[in-house]
Amino acid sequence: MAQPTGLDKGLTMTQTQALTKALILALIAPSDEKATQASDLAESIAQGLDFAQVEQCKADALAMIEGA
């Protein structure tokens, strides 16, 4: 039997959580190429969020990196 993936286990995240994680990936990416990929992903996730939500995600991402 195949191992269940995160989605099979019912794990979900909000759009703002996904954006925060994508922003973190963009900031800590090991190469410019990976940073661009993560940035592009973050930009697509941010669609549909309002300005305040995006700004909060940016602040959260920076806080998580600075606190690490």
Kindly state the tokens that stand for 20.
């925060």
Q: Is residue 4 domain-resident?
A: no
Q: Tell me, yes or no, whether 27 lies in a domain.
A: yes
Tokens representing 32? 């410019």
Residue 29: inside a domain: yes
Residue 3 has pLDDT above 70, yes or no: no
**Residue 58 counted as domain residue:** yes
Question: How many residues comprise the chain?
Answer: 68
- Would the pLDDT of 62 be above 90? yes
Task: Record the tokens describing residue 44, joined without a space.
Answer: 């697509």
Looking at the domain assignment, is residue 5 inside a domain?
no
Helix (H, G, I), strand (E, B) or coil at 45: helix
Q: C-alpha angle with apex 18: 15 to 20, nearest 5 degrees?
A: 110
Tell me which residue of 60, 21, 63, 28 sits closest to 42, measured CA to CA.
21
Q: Could you list the residue range(s) of the whole structural domain that residue 28 is in?
A: 15-67
Residue 21 is assigned to a structural domain of this protein: yes
Q: What pLDDT digit, counting tens, does each position of 17-52 carry?
A: 999 999 999 999 999 999 999 999 999 999 989 999
- Whether residue 8 is contained in a domain is answered as no
| Count: domains in the chain | 1
- Answer yes or no: is 10 within a domain: no
